[in-house]
Amino acid sequence: MVENLDSGNSFRLSIKSLEAEADPRVTHAGVQALCSRITQLSNLEQTKFAYLPNPQYSILAEATAHPRVVESSLYAGLQCQLPLNKLRVVLRCVGNWLERTANKTLFVLEIPPSHTITLQTDRARALAQLLTLGEALLPPHEFYRTQAEGYISTFGELTPAAKANLSLVQQRVGLSREEADELNATAMGPFRTLAEKYQHFHRELLVCKQASDLDEAFWNVMRTKAVTMGLPEADAQFLKNERLNTLRREAEQTHRQSEAKAAAEAQRQQEQQERSLGYCHQFEELVIDSLTPQGIAPEPSGPVGDQAETARFCQSVMANLAKSDFNRGRLTQAREFYHLNPQEAEALEKPVLDELYLLSDLL
């Protein structure tokens, strides 16, 4: 059963699916989704619900070969009792749910002391009639507050025109100026202007660091928050699009920066390879120019002669590597031309020398 509230400060809402051909499990899931959306509204987290069983379920269970596999219960609707000051917020939430499900549904709204309104529809726009009529049957204070909340949900704040209309409502229902001001403040909530609501809603959207974070599930939560804080849906959608555009621009900028960085790195590596190759060629030329052994008499052929010739050639190579060609700064100039530090130059020179020695059979 639904928890009993003060009958003078609460309304009762009953919702039941009339889709006879619908899958009972789909209807059950829709009822559970609606319960979840209502409990996500501000100050309604502890709302109690009474669920209406699906009459098709018994037929389904009898036709099932293994009834134990079927869920223990399937719902066709629900009942709940909620504070009167949440009438507009709750019915707007129910309207959003009906717009998505588009199922023919029976709505029964009970307003104290003894008013009952019944409506069958599958359109969210028709549900607005239930809201309008329900608000007209509210007590004076609640009627004034719902009018104020209606203007706030439309414009985000009390515009001069809205204040003028509320002044007429105040006189018609017999409220004092102080009572009206207090109800206006209550309807606005913690945010006194539309700009404050914009700032708060924008900060909530900043948790999305990429476009995929702002998915349908997250946006449904944000839409509920917008309804609760009285931010018009058009404004909430505008802020959503603004955040999505920002995230896409940032993603494109990051992608371009990554491509530029990769291209710069590839260019740097290519230039480094070209510098290394050019220095190797120049170093080979310097070494070959320095290897000009002179005054070496021919030696008799044979193992002993070959060893002597190799030793003398090696001595000549080592002597010529220290000649003035290297000391005149040609090697230093080559290093500076190709922008090489001593460590890089040494790493490039060693394989060249090793290769020359190996080709000369010096090792």
pLDDT in tens, 75-89: 999 999 998 878 888
Q: What is the mean pLDDT of residues 114-140?
A: 87
Do 173 and 65 fall into the same domain?
no
pTM for the structure as a whole: 0.48
The boundaries of the domain holding residue 171 are: 139-189
Do 37 and 132 fall into the same domain?
yes
Do 300 and 355 fall into the same domain?
yes
Give the pLDDT band (50/70/90) at residue 305: low
Q: Residue-wise over 8-45: b if at least 16 C-beta within 10 A, else e? A: eebbbbbbbbebeebebeebbebbeebbebbebbeebe
Q: Which residues pair with 11 in a beta bridge?
A: 82
Q: Which two tokens stand for residue 264?
A: 């710069």
Lowest-pLDDT range of 127-141, 203-217, 274-288, 307-321: 307-321
pLDDT above 50: residue 150: yes
The model's pLDDT over 198-242, given as tens digits with 9 standing for 90+, comes to: 888 999 898 888 888 888 888 888 888 888 888 888 889 999 999
Q: Identify which has the larger pLDDT, 45 or 122.
A: 122
Do 8 and 107 fall into the same domain?
yes
pLDDT, position 63: 41
pLDDT above 80: residue 172: yes
Taking the C-alpha atoms of residue 243 and residue 215, their distance in angstroms, rounded to an integer, is 12
pLDDT, position 289: 64
The model's pLDDT over 324-343, given as tens digits with 9 standing for 90+, comes to: 445 456 667 777 777 777 77
pLDDT above 60: residue 130: yes
Cβ atoms of 139 and 150 within 8 Å: the answer is no
pLDDT, position 55: 76
Is residue 235 in some structural domain?
no
Q: What is the mean pLDDT of residues 116-128?
A: 90
pLDDT, position 69: 44
Is residue 239 in some structural domain?
no
φ, ψ dihedrals at 73, nearest 5°: -160, 145
Average pLDDT, rounded, for the chain: 78
Cβ atoms of 166 and 158 within 8 Å: the answer is yes
Q: Which two tokens stand for residue 24?
A: 């009972």
How far is CA 220 from its chain centroid?
Answer: 13
What sign results for the dihedral spanned by CA atoms 359, 291, 317, 314? positive
Taking the C-alpha atoms of residue 314 and residue 307, their distance in angstroms, rounded to an integer, is 11
pLDDT above 70: residue 39: yes
Do 129 and 172 fall into the same domain?
no
Residues 6+ apart with CB under 8 A from 155: 162, 194, 232
DSSP string, 28-86: HHHHHHHHHHHHTSTT-TT--EEEEEPTHHHHHHHH-S-GGGS-S--EEEEEEEEEGGG
Cβ atoms of 339 and 275 within 8 Å: the answer is yes
Do 110 and 74 fall into the same domain?
yes
pLDDT above 50: residue 35: yes
The model's pLDDT over 340-359, given as tens digits with 9 standing for 90+, comes to: 777 777 777 777 666 656 55
Do 73 and 168 fall into the same domain?
no
Is residue 15 in some structural domain?
yes
Q: Pick from 189, 222, 254: which residue ends a domain?
A: 189
What sign results for the dihedral spanned by CA atoms 41, 44, 48, 49? negative
Do 11 and 88 fall into the same domain?
yes
